[in-house]
Amino acid sequence: MSVKITYFVHGTTTDNEVGVASGWSDVDLSDMGVQQSKDLPKLNTEKFDVVFCSDLKRAVHSAELSFKDKFPIIQDARLRECNYGDLNGKNSKIVEEREIDAIANGFPNGESYQDVEKRMRDFLEEVKKKYDGKHIAIVAHKGPQLALDVILGGMTWLEAFDKDWRKFGKWQPGWEYNLE
C-alpha cells in the first residue's frame, strides 16, 4: 500500500508581494492570496481523506479557504517553513543567497534545510502508519515541499533547489507525491 499526497503551497502573502522571506514570521495572506485559496478547489477537484497544514497563519488560512467543510483539516508544526532565524522577515534575495549554504549549515540562529527534511521524515513516518492506502493533502511552504522532492523524489538538495518551480514561474494546482 501507499499514501497518495497532493501538495499545495499556501496563497500569496503580504510578505511575498513586497519581496520578503517570512520564514517563521506569522504573516497572513494578501487579498490575492485569499482569492487564490478560494479559487483552488475549482482548479483541483480531487477528494482527500484529510488535509494537513502548517500551523503558520498563511497555511492555515489557505487550507481553511480551500477545504473547510469539505475535508478534516489538521495543523502540524512539522510542516512549517524553514526557520530563517535572524533572516526571518528579511529581503527574499538575502535569504536566497544563503540557501545553498543553509542546506547543512543552517541560517544564523535558525535551522538548516536538513532540519526541515528531518521534520518531514518524522511527519511522513506518522502519515504512513495512520493513512496507508489513503489520499491526503498538505498545505504548506517552500522548504517542506523541497524536502518532499528530496525524500520522495530522489533528488539531492542542490537538485531540488535547481528544479524548484518558483524559479521558472511554473505554479500548478497541486503536486503529486507517493509515499511507499
Cell, residue 114? 536538513
Q: Cα(179)–Cα(172) distance, rounded to whole angstroms?
A: 20
Count of helices and strands (H, E) across the chain: 7, 7
SS3 17: helix
**Number of Cβ within a 10 Å radius of residue 41:** 14
**Residues annotated as part of the active site:** 10, 81
What is the dihedral angle through the alpha carbons of 61, 71, 154, 23, rounded to the nearest 10 degrees? 10
Cell, residue 63? 487550507
